[in-house]
Amino acid sequence: MEKLFLSSLFSLLLFVHSVSAYTTYNVISFGANPDGRTDSTQPFRNAWSSACASTSPAIIYVPSGRYLLGHIVFHGGCRNSDVRIIIQGTLVAPYNYREFSNISNWLAFQNVNGVSIYGGTLDGQGSSLWYCKSTGNSCPTGARSLVFRDSRNILINGVTSISSQKFHFVLDNAQNVTMQGVVISAPGNSPNTDGIHVEKSTNVRIVNSGIRTGDDCISVGPGTRNLWIENIACGPGHGISIGSLGWSLNESGVKNVTVKNVTMTGTTNGLRIKSWARPSNGFARGIVFENVRMENVRNPIIIDQNYCSSSATSCPHKASSITVSQVTYRGIRGTSATPTAVKINCSVAKPCTGIRLEDITLTYQNQIAKSFCAHAHGIAAGLIKPSSLAIHISDYVVALMLHIIVKCSRVSALYFKDKF
């Protein structure tokens, strides 16, 4: 304990020393009011403009209190590449969701370089919009709480986001981003409140964070490369999803994604890859899911290439041409909330290839769970429960079983090959 205290004190001293050369801009001095009722939108804009215009590294300081903010876009083109936003208070969105009727983002950073956000809470006050949606009335889509677009060298450290109207955090065409110590909270029945959405972004790390929400804890969209996700507690929510992919014919692929040391608790899905059943030249490859603990998860492992969202007015019924390949599941353990814990439902037009299962143990009500597989091939290694996993290769059938406990519910395809 003493060593931990000394280490934390040393880190704090280093931080204080490192910011001593920074010019500090306190939002209070620009007229921001921490009473939670007075609109502080313009003072925050002015603080950003001053920090961005500074030729030396800058700090925007937000003291304790609640700051009511409307829609803001923090534009880049700054004269320095090190702006730190240190938040001790809470930023609050308007309670009246119709103020964002034609706005997709609450707070957005556009074309910035070298922005860091430390601490604080973002309160999207989304409950009234969620209620509106639950009634079936005509409601706005909702605003995403914090978006970085066309930006690079970003750090989000120790930020809490609660009750977002829609997605909590979005990285869109961002490079070299670290998110750590993030806490996200929304009820399990809050619609479209994805925790973190990443698309068209490269070299992103999401670590040491807890996400409780009503949609995907983390969703990965087209064009994402080199994404590292580690030490995440997810649930409630819809798990960690790659996709949905394949809505557009010409779509950038997803590759080199690692998800490890994750706990899923009470989520509707665990580790999911999903694509629409329609033509597309996109792909998902080089995906690793490792050391994941499932606790009462409805679909612990799922590849769904016939995806259709519940909100879609009509579903495509063509074959998905998204290429899913080189996907590894290693050390996936725990309990399923449904009898079928593994669902690998790949495209008849583009079967999944290079699916690798290693050391999988999933149970349902203290029994080994079932699996469903179609149009996939790969390798099973180590202890696999459920271990009879069907795959589709060519037009002949071979059954090579390893640790067979329960047969796959679909046998119109090949079983995974034992590597031994």
Catalytic residues: 238
The letter for the amino acid at 328 is: T
| Residue 5 CA from chain centroid, whole number | 32
Specify burial of residue 96 (Cβ count, 10 A radius: 0-12, 13-18, 19+).
exposed
Say how far apart CA 226 and CA 255 lie, in whole Å: 7
The torsion defined by the Cα of 246, 252, 253 and 255, in degrees rounded to 10, comes to -150
Residue 30 exposure: Cα atoms within 13 Å on the Cβ side: 23
Structure token pair of residue 285: 């490859």
Structure tokens that stand for 51 in this block: 């920090």
Query: Is the Cβ–Cβ distance between 88 and 120 less than 8 Å?
Result: yes
Distance CA 42, CA 115 (A): 20
The residue whose two tokens read 């649930």 is 235
| Residue of 110, 107, 112 whose CA lies nearest to 93 | 107
Torsion-angle region of residue 132: left (phi > 0), alpha (psi -120 to 50) or beta? alpha
CA diameter of the chain: 75
